Structure 1
Amino acid sequence: MELLGILLPLGLLMYFAFRGITLLLLAPVMAVFAVVLSGGLSPLAAFTQIFMINTADFILAFFPLFFLGAIFGKLMDDSGSAESIARWVIGKLGMGNAMLAVVICCAVLTYGGVSLFVVAFAIFPIASALFRDAAVPKRLIPGAIALGAFTFTMSALPGTPAIQNAIPMPYFGTTAFAAPGLGIIAAIMMFGLGMLWLNHRASAALATGEGYGNHDDGLPEPDTVMRAQAQNEGFDVNEIEATEDTRNLPPFILAIAPIVIVVLVNFLFVEFVVPQLETAYLAEPLFGATSIEAVRGVWAIVVALTASILFLILSNFRRFPDIRETLNKGADAAVLPIFNTASLVGFGGVIAALPAFGEITDGLMSLSDGNPLVSVAMSVTTLSALTGSASGGMSIALDALGSTFVAMANATGTSLEAMHRVTSVASGALDALPHNGAVITVLGIAKLTHKDSYLDIFVTAVIVPFIALVAIIVLANLFGGF
């Protein structure tokens, strides 16, 4: 009965999230339901003292990243910089490389910090025109967007400001550039294997003369379910609502500069500024009795995004139809996503407090045979798959077991940088299952069904990342974090 108290609420959370009900409502209701089913805890105490405290702790730690990331994405969209980058890449690669062009466009934008949903809405009209001209089936577009937007740039490439790369930092005392060698290897594997699959599928379709197909390619307005799924996955619909574009696009150099600034300032701050700072005061209770190792990664991304936002505003001021509206919508777009993700963390905190969770943890630890890299990978992939959220699953695992993973790593001499990279890649290895919010929303944008396109998403965003995860675990066990 105790195990049912965990599995049934998780199953219901998956089902209702798939049906488009917001996690802001689902997470607390299912947390209390789990307590009632399991017994042993006061439902009111579990809600106010466990759920709410875990939720608040996540918001406290990561709100700056959600806030600045949402503003940055909105500025990139409204300034025309995202579209300018996409058109430049496509112009250079040509119509004969439609698949590669779409993947690279999505990768460049998401690596720079532009949200998946901004990218999907911006790239889909261009992708549909490219695929139609190249006689590539439309059903392959979601797989191409998935490969470019929520695989290697989300979790593997060092320096990405994606929240999936930021969440492990305070737990392991690492930065966004943790284990760059492992990250680059994982990224190359994801990109290479994903492109092999998509090109194989395109070639097979060409051989049979399938062509693009007869489709309505008008960009849909986000409906109620798509809005809910976008918010569940960590983005607000305010970020993706289409606006009439009557302005001139910025030149490519100006458009790409904010992305370069994000990565470069992030790196320079960690490597050269932080070592020069006097940070002993962080140990005082006023500042949470923390250390620079726990906050330097978040600080670096905050500084990098702030610098890029200021550059975007100053260099594109005349291109914004209404800069005040852009900033307001960007700021508003941060609120629901972080509360939804934080609610998942609160749900995970309640689940972790139930007696049966200890049995699940012991089972996972025994299967890993004491290997901390395998332990963290199994925990994160399992919870990301169940919740359909990379950030949510990772947060639940680290919030419940983060100190255990660190202790295991220290006891076995395992690099914490390797732990960070394995954790990040693991979060994106099994999250893109059919109930995942990003999957549902991208299919909605393309006006396609799971039957039409999910196989390609499954291969590029589940099987391929899982292969890369296994590879870097083996490499990290052999050579450590590098």
Structure 2
Amino acid sequence: MAGMLAIVVSLLSLMYFAYRGVTVLLLAPLMAALAVVLSGDLALLLPIYTHTFMPALAGYAMNFLPVFLLGALFGQLIADSGAAHTLSAWIVRVVGQRHAVVVVVAACALLTYGGVSLFVVAFAVYPIAKDLFRTAKIPKRLIPAAIALGSFTFTMTALPGTPAIINAIPIKYFGTNAFAAPGLGLMAAAIMASGGLWWLQSRVAVARRAGEGYGRHDDEQDAPAVPEAEAAGAAAMPVWQALLPLLLVVGVNALFTYAVFPNVDLGFMREAFPALNTATSTGLWSLVVALAVACTALVLMRLGRWADLKASVNKGVFGFMLPLFNTASEVGYGAVVASLAGFALIKQAVLNVSPNNPLISEAIAMNILAGITGSSSGGLSIALEALGADYVRMAQQAGIAPDLLHRVAVLAAGGMDTLPHCGAIITLLAICKLTHRQSYLNIAAVTMLFPMTALVLVITLGSVFGSF
């Protein structure tokens, strides 16, 4: 019991101090040390740090460094080339200003499904959303929820082939690929998108009946969030050029996943690397190739039109390190917690929630850890590092396909991850210059209520019909 209490105290402390803005790079080792001390293993503190925390951190960084690096670079290139601005403006022209909420959600969805970082998307779409909502007399307090719906939900966890890092994490543990359970993913995406849009449109209707309008805000005279160089690039960039890199990410990923690697004899690789498991590696390789091709194509298409290509590349490459090591530190923390005696009791309790259907146990574990860490990728990584092998074993015994395990894990990790202390939520509100009190209720509705509904449906259908 004391061991379980130690883990709970350290997790609550991690959540509290993360909410207060303390970096996870410092929090993770400190809270791991706290858990060790409270468990009565003070004498093992140093070896646990050097032989448990650090190997787990380094292992995660080694496995996912190329995805983080290329993803950050691609997002920066999309932003600095003007593609993000071009696509947002194009959607406005196609859909019309009258459908402001749909425009903002669609713009965010298109960009994030194409591989653009949700933080880049927030910066790129916010100025457009601000103008649209003001013109349509829709309360500004709904902008963060509209951006969150398009960026943090169905394009991150449900749509087949999404290059979001959360969709890549289970590949290593389950031997799957980014297109796992595509039919169920599309159904989940439809529930999240339609439910979220219904919620936001109903809030707009209530505000209009109350005569609320856009509201008066002190930031209306601020400089636009989109840099002038980006706006200038966007003006000269055709829509097809802005769309092509996004289509390449999904298309090349699918090509290598379903056509190239399955039809090539990779036996020669095992001769050079005897420990290599190609079944669990090709999904990650496909995503890496797709991002590399898209980055290369974007650079070549805009040659001679970059404001400062070297600066864009450097900024994108440097930008991957903090997200990577934040998540890797959380994985290190999870490895320490998993090594403690108290965790065995927690693990057994979670695994026994539904011994005949590991999907339910998996969903609960992912939701709890994503909620505590305030990070979908962090919670998912911790849970799979500790329980991934158990779920694979339980799924094999129950006749459940790895693809279904993958999709349920990703959907669950994207359920409770947006609690108030979530770093992405704090950043989004800062970009929009709004507070939790003004906007968080609507954010929670579109990022937790409907994703959880979709998760329940996927588990139900998957349990009855299997993966599809």
TM-score (norm 2): 0.96
Taking the aligned partners of 1:25 and 1:354, their CA distance within structure 2 comes to 20
- What's the CA shift string for 1:270-324, capped at 9, x where partnerless? 111102323224445x637132111111100111011100110010123321111
Structure 1 SS opposite 2:353:
helix
Equivalent residue letter for 1:372: P
Partner of residue 447 from structure 2, selected from 454, 461, 467: 461
Q: 1:327 to 1:218 in 2, by over 3 A?
A: farther
Could you tell me whether the CA contact under 8 Å between 1:83 and 1:249 is conserved in 2? no
Tell me which residue corresponds to 2:199: 197
Partner of residue 278 from structure 1, selected from 250, 265, 272: 265
1:218 to partner: Cα distance: 4.8
Query: Does 1:55 pair with 2:57?
Result: yes
Equivalent residue letter for 1:263: V
Could you tell me whether the CA contact under 8 Å between 2:363 and 2:412 is conserved in 1? yes
- What's the CA shift string for 1:428-468, capped at 9, x where partnerless? 01100000011111111111111100010000001110110
Could you tell me whether the CA contact under 8 Å between 1:219 and 1:445 is conserved in 2? no
1:369 to partner: Cα distance: 3.5
Structure 1 SS opposite 2:87:
helix
- What's the CA shift string for 1:92-144, capped at 9, x where partnerless? 11111000000000000000000011000110010010000001100100110
Q: Could you list the runs of 5+ residues in structure 2 that have no partner in the other structure? A: none
Structure 2 SS opposite 1:39:
coil
1:366 to partner: Cα distance: 2.0
Tell me which residue corresponds to 1:389: 375
Could you tell me whether the CA contact under 8 Å between 1:125 and 1:217 is conserved in 2? no
Tell me which residue corresponds to 1:329: 315
Tell me which residue corresponds to 2:149: 147
Taking the aligned partners of 2:228 and 2:46, their CA distance within structure 1 comes to 45
Taking the aligned partners of 1:220 and 1:12, their CA distance within structure 2 comes to 36
Partner of residue 438 from structure 1, selected from 424, 431, 449: 424
Taking the aligned partners of 1:420 and 1:281, their CA distance within structure 2 comes to 28
1:37 to partner: Cα distance: 0.9
1:9 to partner: Cα distance: 1.2
Q: 1:46 to 1:241 in 2, by over 3 A?
A: farther
Structure 1 SS opposite 2:294:
helix
Tell me which residue corresponds to 1:24: 25
Query: Does 1:250 pair with 2:251?
Result: no
Taking the aligned partners of 2:220 and 2:81, their CA distance within structure 1 comes to 22
Could you tell me whether the CA contact under 8 Å between 1:68 and 1:305 is conserved in 2? yes
Output aligned runs, 1:178-327, within 5 Å: 178-218=180-220, 242=227, 244-245=229-230, 246-247=232-233, 248-283=235-270, 287=273, 289-327=275-313
Taking the aligned partners of 1:211 and 1:422, their CA distance within structure 2 comes to 40
Aligned pair count reads 464
Equivalent residue letter for 1:415: A
Q: 1:219 to 1:159 in 2, by over 3 A?
A: farther
1:186 to partner: Cα distance: 0.3
Q: 1:202 to 1:75 in 2, by over 3 A?
A: same
Q: 1:351 to 1:281 in 2, by over 3 A?
A: farther
Partner of residue 65 from structure 1, selected from 58, 64, 67: 67
Taking the aligned partners of 1:288 and 1:442, their CA distance within structure 2 comes to 46
Equivalent residue letter for 1:326: S
Taking the aligned partners of 2:326 and 2:127, their CA distance within structure 1 comes to 29
Could you tell me whether the CA contact under 8 Å between 2:160 and 2:179 is conserved in 1? yes
- What's the CA shift string for 1:131-190, capped at 9, x where partnerless? 000011001001101100000000100000000100001111100000000100000000
Output aligned runs, 1:403-414, within 5 Å: 403-414=389-400
1:372 to partner: Cα distance: 1.1
Tell me which residue corresponds to 1:234: none
Structure 2 SS opposite 1:318:
coil
1:249 to partner: Cα distance: 3.8
Could you tell me whether the CA contact under 8 Å between 2:156 and 2:166 is conserved in 1? yes
Query: Does 1:360 pair with 2:346?
Result: yes
Taking the aligned partners of 2:274 and 2:151, their CA distance within structure 1 comes to 35
Taking the aligned partners of 1:218 and 1:262, their CA distance within structure 2 comes to 36
Taking the aligned partners of 1:447 and 1:157, their CA distance within structure 2 comes to 30
Tell me which residue corresponds to 2:328: 342
- What's the CA shift string for 1:45-74, capped at 9, x where partnerless? 110100001111101110000000000000
Structure 2 SS opposite 1:368:
coil
Output aligned runs, 1:53-132, within 5 Å: 53-132=55-134
> Could you say what the CA RMSD is over the residues aligned between the two structures, in angstroms?
1.6
Output aligned runs, 1:464-479, within 5 Å: 464-479=450-465
- What's the CA shift string for 1:391-442, capped at 9, x where partnerless? 0000000000111000000001001101000011111011000000111111
Structure 2 SS opposite 1:166:
helix
Taking the aligned partners of 1:26 and 1:297, their CA distance within structure 2 comes to 32
Structure 2 SS opposite 1:144:
helix
Taking the aligned partners of 1:282 and 1:403, their CA distance within structure 2 comes to 25
**Higher mean displacement: 16-25 or 59-68:** 16-25
1:215 to partner: Cα distance: 1.1
Taking the aligned partners of 1:220 and 1:343, their CA distance within structure 2 comes to 36
Q: 1:204 to 1:217 in 2, by over 3 A?
A: same
Structure 1 SS opposite 2:333:
helix
TM-score (norm 1): 0.94
Q: What's the % identity of the aligned pairs? A: 48
Could you tell me whether the CA contact under 8 Å between 1:154 and 1:164 is conserved in 2? yes
